[in-house]
Amino acid sequence: MAELIHDIDTSVVRENLARVRDEIAGTGRDPNEVELLAAVKYVPLEHVGALVEAGIDVMGENRAQDLEAKAAAHPEVTWDFIGHLQSRKVKQVLPHVRYIHSVSTDSVLKQLERHGTPGTEVLVEVNIAGEEGKSGVAPGELDDFVGRCPARVVGLMTMPPLAEDPEDSRRWFAALAELAAERGLRQLSMGTSQDYVVAVQEGATIVRLGTTLYR
């Protein structure tokens, strides 16, 4: 299990942000087209302010209770929910977020219908590689699932199979991008600290970054 991060240095974060933007530019993509979302699951509330000071204004949290506390303390930040979402937590999460990146079950759809607003926007999590026991909608079931979603689906999200070499994730990112393009969905949430460059090359519009920003 990863440990909480207690030693955030704003100057280091600024340098890392600049490096990541340079790497994105090096892929041929416009850095302004790729949103850098800081994953703050392991950043305690008292250190979120250091990230804001360093220039981070979009953050994602995995746990509903922590999201609620951090969003209340830092309303100047754009917040997304990026973790596995239990249906009973939908009502708790919705008031604080722009997007939920992990919508993938009918039980969550029922809660979105009950508690969402006409402006609610979500990303559907896709189990792009068909991994057994992993959350996400199967690619072949995506259209039916989107058709049942009471919220506005603006994009797709995935976590590819664990791989040491980022290149091993390329085909999965490309497959997700194809699914999104076929359905006219503008947001692609894919890529983390270890593979974001490949994800950007394949069309990511949001990358979820943790340690590559903080260390």
Is the entire prediction scored with pTM above 0.85?
A: yes
Please state the three-class secondary structure of 104-172 as a single string: CCHHHHHHHHHHCCCCCEEEEEECCCCCCCCCCECHHHHHHHHHHCCCEEEEEECCCCCCCCHHHHHHH
Q: Thinking of the domain 10-214, which architecture would CATH place it in?
A: Alpha-Beta Barrel (3.20)
Beta bridge partners of 81: 61, 100
Convert the pLDDT of each residue in 115-160 to its tens digit. Answer: 999 899 999 999 999 999 899 999 999 999 999 999 999 999 999 9
Q: Is residue 59 predicted with pLDDT exceeding 60?
A: yes
